[in-house]
Structure 1
């Protein structure tokens, strides 16, 4: 495994300064003065700034920082293929009211960002946290995201270190939008980063509990690359081709041979991409199969922390469940995750709150 360095996060003392990288797209042509006036009136009528996000983990991270000072609304439904998700006309109407759009970037949500650029008010910023977390030389290309396709693997948030970078950038962007809330966002960020640090420490313990020969991953969808690079786990490959279709019979045969050669004890599917081929491969290779998740939070609930009443339906809850599943199937100790608090730090299930 090659070591890598996470780009240093900006200090909260620099809130409001321009980032060294920018994901904001060029502004579209100005709207008519009457349309701009109408949009401005609609937005000013809101008690709180409206912040639009995309996938559920990102929505949950941002809403933990925003708390009750901003209305955070995720567009991509949970359990949906975010790579191909086509936003609805109602999403465009919502974006027209947005004060800020926070996306993952790295070409994950292309149709959604195209709509956002077309529908957003001229002054509304589109900010891509993933694009601003790592430099291009740290991008990972793999089976689902081959270099020839030009799109890097965008699933940075599965790595808690990068999730912390997302939280920090969210605090910076929210403070720039709402300077009066700077202390509130900083307090929420501090509490949330402590949770993510605990998640990182337990993750290392879980991986260490897995026998070295079993620290290998074969997944259906390639979403664990940045996590594996951080924690010293070898990615064997992915079942799903880059076009998101089922693998060919020839591909299946190669995967079965690869599983037998590497003696991986289990393969891991995805609830977003249910596949009978995965079950066939597991049967023929005589290995276990189970599902992990990269963007579907566990149980029922809302990705918005201020609306959620399920303490497990959170980004941290998703990662805790993933660690439990990985440990159980790879010979590690699932009980190590029992010490982690999965609830949000704000909202109905909050166990740590900052003063407004």
Structure 2
């Protein structure tokens, strides 16, 4: 090989090496903010607002019972590396938060969305979350008005953490909020199509405490006791009696909380049993999003209670690019 060609090749390779070195150094100096989240709906909302400017890992796997979830050893490194930790709060993620407080970086903020969204006097206590146990019902995210507040809080805190990309966070949040507003309106329309006497909910897990009052429904009962065990015979008899007295046409469970007792209750009460509602498990693609989860829920719930399931037909459940 001619000497001049060798020199040219060496120079070219050296230039590529130096460019890669500079790129690596720049990446180390200006890395994407690393955000650790908890349940899938919150993870999805954070990803939609953060877009391509952040790196997100959800600690609680999709489809896992968030109430009984315990972090595993590998989660220690994840929490140690976090620039911000975003959780629901209201005592939902206590084991994860306890670990995070021990291992996180000093400057890392833990953002409890529920605690910043709802005043303590507005926390809900119920059959699955009795006041005497001291832990409120944490399922704020099934109320879209409260989710929109979540989105605002996430936008504000990402902008503070990473002001260079504030404009992008604001734009993504505005897009998401517009979608959530349409979803909120659609849920009202769905409930309006349900006969008034059917606007009642019996669920396995008590997830709809904040959903029901916003959209004009009533939670009649939740089957799962406060200790997340199966209900006893007397509790089952009581629930069957309630269903018969109130005329509820269907009862609801989910794959995250499999329970044969729900089938028994439905059979004894002579009502439909629907096991497809989701508290926090996102559906498969193409609608693998929080909005997709809520759209599926409303389609299933509305039809089961005698309403018109086409009320969700025009909802955009797609994610913002991330």
State whether residues 84 and 111 of structure 1, in contact with CA within 8 Å, keep that contact through their aligned partners in structure 2. Answer: no
Q: 1:303 — aligned with what?
A: none
Give 1:287 shift.
Answer: 0.3
Give 1:180 shift.
Answer: 0.9
Task: Pick one of 267, 281, 305 that aligns with 1:296.
Answer: 281
Q: 1:314 — aligned with what?
A: 289
Distance 1:120 1:331, change over 3 A: same
SS of the equivalent of 1:270 reads: coil
Distance 1:46 1:120, change over 3 A: farther
- d(CA) in 2 for partners of 1:326, 1:179: 41
Give 1:118 shift.
Answer: 1.0
SS of the equivalent of 2:114 reads: coil
Q: RMSD of aligned C-alpha atoms?
A: 1.3
Q: 1:215 — aligned with what?
A: 199
More off after superposition, 77-86 vs 318-327: 77-86
State whether residues 220 and 239 of structure 1, in contact with CA within 8 Å, keep that contact through their aligned partners in structure 2. Answer: yes
Paired residues for 1:10-29 under 5 Å: none
Distance 1:205 1:195, change over 3 A: same
Distance 1:109 1:46, change over 3 A: farther
- Structure 1: which 4+ aligned runs deviate by more than 2 Å? 43-47
- d(CA) in 1 for partners of 2:286, 2:53: 21
Give 1:185 shift.
Answer: 0.5
- d(CA) in 2 for partners of 1:336, 1:71: 35
Paired residues for 1:98-109 under 5 Å: 98-109=82-93
Task: Pick one of 182, 185, 188 that aligns with 1:198.
Answer: 182
TM-score, normalization: structure 1? 0.82
- d(CA) in 2 for partners of 1:56, 1:201: 23
TM-score, normalization: structure 2? 0.90
Gaps of 5+ in 2: 1-24
Question: Does residue 346 in structure 1 map to residue 300 in structure 2?
Answer: no
Give 1:44 shift.
Answer: 4.9
Question: Does residue 58 in structure 1 map to residue 42 in structure 2?
Answer: yes
SS of the equivalent of 1:84 reads: coil
- d(CA) in 1 for partners of 2:307, 2:321: 32
Task: Pick one of 222, 241, 246 that aligns with 2:230.
Answer: 246
Give 1:270 shift.
Answer: 1.8
Task: Pick one of 78, 88, 92 that aligns with 2:76.
Answer: 92
State whether residues 219 and 269 of structure 1, in contact with CA within 8 Å, keep that contact through their aligned partners in structure 2. Answer: yes
- d(CA) in 2 for partners of 1:97, 1:45: 15
Question: Does residue 76 in structure 1 map to residue 60 in structure 2?
Answer: yes
**Higher share in helix:** 2
- d(CA) in 1 for partners of 2:264, 2:153: 42
- d(CA) in 1 for partners of 2:270, 2:135: 33
- d(CA) in 1 for partners of 2:236, 2:72: 36
- The number of residues matched between the two structures is 296
Give 1:46 shift.
Answer: 7.1
State whether residues 311 and 344 of structure 1, in contact with CA within 8 Å, keep that contact through their aligned partners in structure 2. Answer: no
Task: Pick one of 219, 225, 228 that aligns with 1:235.
Answer: 219
Question: Does residue 332 in structure 1 map to residue 307 in structure 2?
Answer: yes
State whether residues 207 and 332 of structure 1, in contact with CA within 8 Å, keep that contact through their aligned partners in structure 2. Answer: yes
The structure that has the greater radius of gyration is 2
Q: 1:147 — aligned with what?
A: 131
- d(CA) in 1 for partners of 2:100, 2:30: 19
SS of the equivalent of 1:217 reads: strand
Gaps of 5+ in 1: 1-40, 300-309, 348-356
- d(CA) in 2 for partners of 1:90, 1:144: 31
CA offsets 1:277-324 (integer angstroms, 9 cap, x no match): 01000001000011211100012xxxxxxxxxx231100000000000
Distance 1:274 1:313, change over 3 A: same
Task: Pick one of 137, 145, 150 that aligns with 2:121.
Answer: 137
SS of the equivalent of 2:256 reads: coil
Question: Does residue 174 in structure 1 map to residue 149 in structure 2?
Answer: no
Give 1:339 shift.
Answer: 0.7
